[in-house]
Chains A and B, each alone.
Chain A
Amino acid sequence: MPNRLMPAFPEPDTQPFWEGAKRSELRYQRCDTCQSIVFTPRAHCTACGSAKLSWHTSKGLGTIYTYSVVRQNRNPAFADLGAYAVAYVDVDEGFRMLTNIVGAADPTKDIKVGQRVQVEFEAQTSGAFPVPVFRPV
């Protein structure tokens, strides 16, 4: 199993997101006051400042906005991944998420901007939180 760095808690903004990941839920927030989507998670609306936010679960489908295949990372947690693709994915519900693209035979050739992707939750030996990553559909 992968050995990625884990989020660390207590940290109240993102903890509900990661608790959701344990249930294979990709969670985001919407402002009850102005209906704006809020991501990454926090306790106030970035559009109007309201503290009234509700949590929602995404269907986990999105489009690659951009990506890069990382060839060199001196952090030991990523040494075993080989060349791996980091990306921003525009998730259909209206938020852009930093993630990895997995499942490409050759990430340097098989990943494209605009590609449709689906979330999956990757279990880790490094800790209790499965990490949401995306795979081309």
Chain B
Amino acid sequence: MANQARNAAIVGIYEWPKRLDMDVSAIQIKARSIALALEDAGLSWQDVDGVYDANDGEGGGGLGLSAYLGIHPTVIDTTQVGGSSYEFQAAHAMRDIAAGKCRVAVLSYGSKSASQRVPIGTGGPRGAGGTWQENMENPYGTTLIANYAMAARRHMHEYGTTSEQLAEISVATRHHAMRNPQAVQAMKDLQFQNIRDITVQEVMESRMVADPLHLLECCMVSDGGGAIVIASADVARGAKQKPVWLIGGGEAIKYRTNDGDITTSAAAQSAPIAFGEAQVKPAEIDIAMIYDSFTITVAVMLEDLGFCKKGEVGGYISGGGLRYDRKGAVTLNTDGGGLSSNHPGMRGMFLLLESVRQLRGQSTSQVPGAKLAVAHGNGGLLGGTHAGGTIILAAD
């Protein structure tokens, strides 16, 4: 790893603890999270010279959020690619910091999806019609989850993947959630039934939402948010926390085409770029933080990230190897994931936060001596138009 660039590091993090919070606005979550992430780093408000914003939570993008915060950045970035926005923004911050355009960058997220009762997965058509895309989609009642379900159905058809195999993702993730007090409280606040470890059988017996995806294969809808401080190497060396280095970033998009394969995601393109830049291999990764909107999302991305071959994920995850305390597969989503900890709509933020906790040794499902993590965010619709952002992180 002698030639691996270590120009930028995550030096401060904060995750909003509550998943149902009636007392704050989304932009207050963002601003408060930034302040507490800066405190975590030992940096101050006016140290910030890079503001990266997904135009979420009334943030107003890099421009509007800077004005709200009262910060005068030299770099703003308003990349909005859904749930992968934070992996894209982290890649952009790495690039901008390496180029000397800024030294202390903040990324933030705030959402009130639960308290505002936003039906993210089952709300049906998202627009009122009148765009080229809405006019071809709205008449058919394709819910968000149906896009993922159709990718799952095709994966099962081509490779023989089963619902029992996909359920292993829900089971391992719930196990991690039960070890995370914030995730347990989230499930209580959001009125989950049976807040305990679950079995493959229970996943199979939960009601079907969109064939072949069952309820316990779907992420929750929560409030939440958080913030990340990314700093240049010189700032990172003087920060309060040990830096977690950003050593590789890859970005890609994918959309449905007339002869395209919807069992492969944008990760198949973004991952080799990220791993190439980081000069590490998937087999060296200790922690995989993968966007678990649904089980199939994780399954496809485990393949596309290179943890197993295309079509072989069913066998790879059978037997429960995704758990932090088991071997046989990479350790997955140790915070409890979107399935069982939080999913306010754009989970990419939390993939980076838990990667950092693991590489600092602070996770509630800590892998001893974890050195390398991959965070892969997916934004948009698996099986449809989506973006994939891959970030490789390394302990100091």
Contacts and interface: CB of A to CB of B under 8 A. Distances in A.
Interface of A: 4-9, 11, 13-14, 17-18, 37, 39-42, 65-75, 77-78, 81, 84, 86-88, 94-96, 98-100, 108, 113-114, 129, 131
B154 A66 contact: yes
A123 B331 CA distance: 51
B236 to A, nearest CB: 44
Interface of B: 119, 122-125, 128-143, 146, 149-154, 157, 207-213, 256-260, 262, 383
A66 B153 contact: yes
A131 B139 CA distance: 7
Contacts of A13: 132, 135
B135 A100 contact: no
Contacts of A81: 141
Given A74-B119, A100-B140, A8 B135 contact: yes
A6 B127 CA distance: 12
B298 to A, nearest CB: 18
Nearest to B130: A8
A17 to B, nearest CB: 8
A5 B138 CA distance: 6
Contact of B209 (A14, A71, A75): A71
Contact of A78 (B141, B149, B151, B259): B141
Nearest to A46: B257
Contacts of A78: 124, 141
Given A72-B209, A98-B140, A11 B149 contact: no
A37 B258 contact: yes
Contacts of A40: 132-133, 136
Given A68-B211, A86-B140, A8 B146 contact: no
Contacts of B132: 11, 13-14, 40-42
5 contacts: A14-B136, A39-B258, A70-B146, A87-B150, A96-B259
Contacts of B143: 70, 72-73
Nearest to A99: B140
A117 to B, nearest CB: 14
